[in-house]
Amino acid sequence: MHGQWNLEQLRTFVRVAELRSFSAVAREQRKAQSAVSNAIALFEADLGVTLFERSSGRQPRLTDAGQALLEEARELLRQCERLDGRAQALMRGQEAQLRLAQDEAMPFQPVLDSLDELAVQYPLLEIQVASGAQGDVARKLLERRADLGLMFHHEHMPAALERQALGSVEMVTVCAVHHPLAQLASVNRQQLAQHRQLLITPQQSGYPGGEPISPQIWRADSFYVMAEMLMRGLGWAWLPRHVVQYPAYQQQMVELASEWRPPALVVELAWRRDEPLGPAARWLAERFAVHLCAIG
């Protein structure tokens, strides 16, 4: 069993390898050259390998073993820096981890743009993003499986959640390009009622636009599933504008001018009242609100 080497020896090994000089490292560390040489010798004894070839009057040169261990040593030092950084962040009150749960129909561009900026602003923060059908976001927050939620406002929001409106997403009336309604310049309720309607589920979700106009309805828990059904001509629907603008759906849907459509979906930030948001979560929320307004 070898002795226990320490981080100071590890740093000295990396510096000698980089500067290729015991004396240069001794000057840098304000130590006697013999102290640096001894530190390396002890490190080699602890590891059980020779790290440097030492010829009198020549610069120390890494052995094959030294070369093999150099990158491992650098990575260990990087890990130490991460540990220090994380500890400093915790001391300052910054989160070590942020778990974001979002409705899968959330506009993806504002979310990605915000995460992009978050990575620069909080480089040490660990991020987990979970997407789910409506209802999942609130559940994850309540079960403490998420710290921050992005969801669309509905009437049955749990009382334990704190909420803040960030912006809204317009709803539009759409059908497939080959659907009979696509031929009409504008449509009224009677005309819409003659064709199958695709609706978000469940009926008691409390989302705007959950009440049917047509006697024949199909339901799905995802706006994207509704869009896929719609493109096959299975019915008309009210969809968020950003879903209709999704690149894969271009030229496959027609927006109908109609006398009625649901009010806009209000995007809300949600979190548990007994767990206040940390600085990174607040910063992300602020950036998301800005990006959401930009697409409005």
Whether 65 contacts 58, CB under 8 Å? no
Residue 232 CB contacts under 8 Å (≥ 6 apart), including other chains: 176
Note the pTM of the prediction, 2 decimals: 0.62
Residue 246 domain boundaries: 171-262
- Split at pLDDT 50, 70, 90, the class of 207 is low
181 falls within a domain: yes
Instruction: Give the pLDDT of residue 206.
Output: 55
Q: Are residues 141 and 283 in the same domain?
A: yes
Q: Is the pLDDT of residue 153 over 80?
A: yes
Instruction: Give the pLDDT of residue 154.
Output: 77
Number of structural domains in the chain? 3
- Split at pLDDT 50, 70, 90, the class of 65 is very high
Whether 84 contacts 124, CB under 8 Å? no
Summarised one tens digit per residue, pLDDT across range 5-43 is 899 999 999 999 999 999 999 999 999 999 999 999 999
**Consecutive H or E run containing 281:** helix 279-295
Dihedral sign of CA atoms 85, 90, 92, 95 in order:
positive
Q: Which of residues 188 and 209 earns the better pLDDT score?
A: 188
**Mean pLDDT, to the nearest integer, of 38-65?**
89
Instruction: Give the pLDDT of residue 295.
Output: 66
**Mean pLDDT, to the nearest integer, of 68-75?**
92
Instruction: Give the pLDDT of residue 116.
Output: 95
- Split at pLDDT 50, 70, 90, the class of 92 is low
Instruction: Give the pLDDT of residue 192.
Output: 94
CATH of the domain at 252: 3.40.190.290
- Split at pLDDT 50, 70, 90, the class of 271 is confident
2 falls within a domain: no
- Split at pLDDT 50, 70, 90, the class of 162 is confident
Q: What average pLDDT does the structure give for the chain?
A: 87
**Mean pLDDT, to the nearest integer, of 68-83?**
87
Last residue of a domain, one of 46, 65, 92: 92
- Split at pLDDT 50, 70, 90, the class of 85 is low
Instruction: Give the pLDDT of residue 135.
Output: 80
Instruction: Give the pLDDT of residue 208.
Output: 59
Q: Is the pLDDT of residue 203 over 60?
A: no
Q: Give the count of beta carbons closer than 10 Å to the beta carbon of residue 130.
A: 15
Q: Which of residues 72 and 154 earns the better pLDDT score?
A: 72
Summarised one tens digit per residue, pLDDT across range 249-265 is 989 999 999 888 888 88
Q: Are residues 275 and 130 in the same domain?
A: yes
- Measuring CA to CA, which residue among 175, 255, 271, 159 is closest to residue 214? 175
1 falls within a domain: no
Q: Are residues 220 and 284 in the same domain?
A: no
DSSP 206-235: --TT-S-SSSSEEEES-HHHHHHHHHTTS-
Q: Is the pLDDT of residue 81 over 60?
A: yes
Q: Are residues 186 and 231 in the same domain?
A: yes
Last residue of a domain, one of 92, 112, 141: 92
Q: Is the pLDDT of residue 87 over 70?
A: yes
64 falls within a domain: yes
